[in-house]
Amino acid sequence: NILHPISNFWVGQLAQANAYFGSSLFVTLILISSVILAIFLNTLRQLVLPRKFNSPPEVFHWLPFIGSAIAYGDNPLQFYFDCQQKYGDVFTFVLFGRRITVALGAQGNNFILGGKSTVFNAEDAYRHLTTPVFGRDVIYDVPNEVLMEQKKFIKVGLSADNLRSYVGMIEEEVNEFIKRDPNFSLYQENDNKKWGSFDVVTALSEITILTASRTLQGKEVRDHLDKSFADLYADLDGGFTPINLMFPNLPFESSRRRDLAQNTMSNFYVDIIKKRRASGNNREPDMIAALIEQQYRNGRALSDREIAHLMIALLMAGQHTSTATGSWTILHLAANPDVAEALYKEQVERFMGPDGKMRSPTYEDIRSLPVLDSVIRETLRMHPPIHSIMRYVREDVAIPATLSAPSEDSVYVIPKGNYVFACPAVSQTDPKIWKNSDKWEPYRWSDQEGVAAQAYKAYLNENGEKIDYGFGAVSKGTESPYQPFGAGKHRCIGEQFAYLQLGTIISTLVRAMELKIAKVPDHNYHTLIVMPKEPRIIHYRRRRLD
């Protein structure tokens, strides 16, 4: 009410201006003055009006609705660290009209990722992004308890026996790829003197889709991995961006293409499933074979459409995450040739036969190579592909006083309708926890008493509490400062597969070539999954001659 006279004044001024300049100018002026007024009121609200005593501190922002979108969108990690310094581990910021409360640190991770799905809900946060891409009736398009059943089905497809059969296939795909991709022409010329070069993300994204389709996705998908499938995938992927997450209902051309691609890809999988059912041949060690056999608790089998949509979900879940992790690993190895040599030495000592030929690793081998393991763990510490894990707040919820509180006898409350973000990337690179936190130092993982090993133990929590959320007992792990695969009931189930896929790809590349780069590029946060900024050109030289 106090502000009414001010706005009336502006409306009066603009009306007079209209008499002079005509209506379009009048409209423009109205718009400009409304924006100025909104900025003014928003600033006044933050600086002058008292904040509700139990609301977490709010990040100051000039622009209403847009809020902190520019700082957050450009570099979320920097934004989180800056806010942590100003406001502590818990604060609220505005992102395109949504109010988001962030809880940082190991305790913050535990609070959000260990929270109940009836309070912190994943499907309400992700559904509008994922359902148009994956399709109906799977993952976040179903109630939480159904997702838990679907995760259980997927775990059957990721059995140790299946994984065991994948190592050789992955190795073969990588070797075939470097023998035919034009970027590896010097490798193909059998030249071990000259250095060639390749864009690491392009190469790794092709290798990832080739290896995932040969193994998990199954041979029919691998056989169709020609231009048409690649185009379909690209269109589907074009609908999986931060813009789709923030503005699901805007009529982008990319959304139209996404919907067409989803439909075609869904039919493509249904066709494979129908053929498999008709032929009675369902003994492939892949995901479709496993899903065909599964039944919900009420006895209903999965429909062809549900299987198709789960397959699309798995393709999307693994593709960028593994491409990003593989790319960062290769970049760091190229920038740290001593570590790449240690990795190569590990391969020679373990696999070189008396005839000078290296044998292929097995599943058990890949799981027991300390240098390889440390290199992947350290890369995931510094570059977890997902920087913000999101939940929608379905009920008012009190923040534990040990995490953040306005005073000794009261607590902060996050109101229903807000979102919460957990950011394990912050605790994974917090200088208060990790020595040389911004340095890629894989050997930190070899010290069994060190911070890294302790964090990993807490993540695996092998001898500690196990919980069955509905997809088999898993370690809770929500309190560890290291959580690249998330934690709690939404914890990743692709972790074993991802480690195996990445481990085999990296070993195969390191066996084949030396790598070199002057500097590891910065993070590009403008994509949903954090990628290295361009240029990201790796120089390579063939190691051994045929």
Chain residues in the site for ligand HEM (CB under 6 A): 122, 147, 151, 154, 314, 317-318, 321-322, 325, 384-386, 389, 484-486, 490, 492-494, 497-498
Pairing of strands 98-103, 419-422: parallel
With helix as H, strand as E and coil as C, how does 239-295 read?
Answer: CCCHHHHHCCCCCCHHHHHHHHHHHHHHHHHHHHHHHHHHHCCCCCCCHHHHHHCCE
* In the complex, least distance from residue 387 CB atom to ligand HEM, rounded to whole angstroms: 10
CB 90 within 8 A of CB 399: yes
Please spell the DSSP secondary structure of 518-542, one letter per residue: SSPPPEE-SSSS-EEPSP-EEEEEE
Structural tokens at position 123: 């499907």
CB 310 within 8 A of CB 150: yes
Short-list 64, 54, 128, CA closest to 98? 64
* In the complex, least distance from residue 325 CB atom to ligand HEM, rounded to whole angstroms: 4
92 three-class SS: strand
| For ligand HEM, the closer CB: 186 or 236 | 236
| For ligand HEM, the closer CB: 183 or 388 | 388
Structural tokens at position 490: 């939404």
| For ligand HEM, the closer CB: 312 or 335 | 312
Shortest-Cβ-distance residue relative to ligand HEM: 494
Please spell the DSSP secondary structure of 149-191, one letter per residue: HHHHHHHHHT-HHHHHHHHHHHHHHHHHHHHH-GGGHHHHTT-
What's the CA gap between 524 and 26, in Å, rounded? 41
Please spell the DSSP secondary structure of 327-365, one letter per residue: HHHHHHHHH-HHHHHHHHHHHHHHHB-TTSPBPPP-HHH
* In the complex, least distance from residue 295 CB atom to ligand HEM, rounded to whole angstroms: 19
| For ligand HEM, the closer CB: 90 or 498 | 498
* In the complex, least distance from residue 95 CB atom to ligand HEM, rounded to whole angstroms: 17
| For ligand HEM, the closer CB: 297 or 544 | 297
| For ligand HEM, the closer CB: 183 or 266 | 266
Helix axes 495-512, 370-382, angle to 10 degrees: 110
Q: Which residues contact 253 (CB under 8 A, 6 or more apart)?
A: none
* In the complex, least distance from residue 432 CB atom to ligand HEM, rounded to whole angstroms: 22
* In the complex, least distance from residue 43 CB atom to ligand HEM, rounded to whole angstroms: 34
CA distances (Å), origin 164, targets 11, 159, 160, 294, 362: 73, 9, 6, 21, 7
* In the complex, least distance from residue 273 CB atom to ligand HEM, rounded to whole angstroms: 18
| For ligand HEM, the closer CB: 88 or 248 | 248
* In the complex, least distance from residue 122 CB atom to ligand HEM, rounded to whole angstroms: 5
- 423 labelled ligand-binding: no
* In the complex, least distance from residue 472 CB atom to ligand HEM, rounded to whole angstroms: 13
| For ligand HEM, the closer CB: 186 or 369 | 369
Backbone phi, psi, residue 367, to 5°: -85, -5
CB 391 within 8 A of CB 121: yes
| For ligand HEM, the closer CB: 413 or 493 | 493
What's the CA gap between 274 and 282, in Å, rounded? 11
Bind-site residues for heme: 492
What residues are designated binding site?
A: 492
